[in-house]
Amino acid sequence: MRMIGALLAGLMLTVAAPALAQGSPGPIAIHGNMQTFEIAPVLYAADEFYPDVATVKMGGIPNLVGEPIVPGFGEEGVADVATHAETQALRYSVRHPDLRIILNVSEGLYRIVARRSAGIESVADLKGKRVATIAQTSSGYFLHRMLAEEGLSFADIVAVPIAPLSAMTQALRKGEVDAVVIWEPESENSAQVLGADLIEFHGDGVYRELFNLNTTEAHLADPARRAKIVRFVRAVIDATAQINADPAKAKRLVAKAGGFSPDDVADSWRHHRFNANFPPDLLDVLVLEEQWLAQRDNRRARGREELAILIDTSVYEEALALALAGGQ
């Protein structure tokens, strides 16, 4: 899952923001991978824009649906909302069809980082090469899509799962793998160790990770809980606008939460887009990705109508109707 790697258990961010004129909605519990840059708007929303106590802990969709938490990859607790890439929403929703995607927070702009001296001049040249990636994640799906563009599949490469993620960079530096496909900052770290030997292949027009805010149908059916979720989505919208105007504070929050250096954040920031909306092709992405996941998991692929149920835009619409946080 998206939390595989050198994650820091026990990270938590708790903030009590001043109540707005609308009244305090009550404390909200958020779980997400705090060692990703994609979570920046969520951290910023909790820190400054949500009008009550917002607690962000390491975790994700498992905290929404009662799945076991792997020690070191998350913290116990029940989430009101949780972040995860769309890959994991698809995976968990097979067992938990009441899961709902309620906002696209950000996009991860993935790339293949490869060693030119390994004879790699194109994506097709990855055939037979050793590629460090985590197959069951969004980065693995990105690699699948990039290979498919050249008529290749995972069977044509040597996929090397490596943990912690920082070890991918070291494996590339030592020549133990020929390419790395993973999210930031390890993708950037891998690119930097190659220097002039670097060749990159970007996924423009092929695939970008959709990092979403998720909840459950049961949570949304609870009026008090729904009110909190709507206000938090509004906070993420406002935080995103501020990030796109001036990302300085968001970068500091990401560095602190994830244990990154300021240089890590500065170097990798450009490989993300912060949206706080619903991309028009979200369902199209889910439909295509579902086919790949179903084949990998040896199960029936759900159709477009089944997958459409996973997308709930009503919270976003209600949040847009609220006045700007701080200006009510």
The pLDDT of residue 248 is 98
DSSP state of 79: -
The pLDDT of residue 74 is 78
Catalogue all structural domains in the chain, each as residue range(s) with its CATH number: 12-108+208-321 (3.40.190.10), 111-202 (3.40.190.10)
List CB contacts of 71: < 8 A, sequence separation 6 or more. 9
Q: How far is CA 318 from the centre of its chain?
A: 24
Alpha-carbon torsion (144, 145, 147, 150), positive or negative = positive
The pLDDT of residue 4 is 36
Helices (H), the chain: 40-44, 62-65, 86-95, 138-148, 166-173, 186-194, 217-221, 223-245, 248-258, 262-268, 282-297, 304-308, 314-321
DSSP helix/strand/coil, 51:
coil
Q: Which of 243, 278, 251, 284 is nearest to 184 (CA)?
A: 251
Q: How many CB atoms lie within 10 A of CB 205?
A: 7
Extract the residue ranges of the chain whose pLDDT is less than 50. 1-21, 325-328
DSSP state of 311: B
The pLDDT of residue 19 is 33
pTM of the model: 0.90
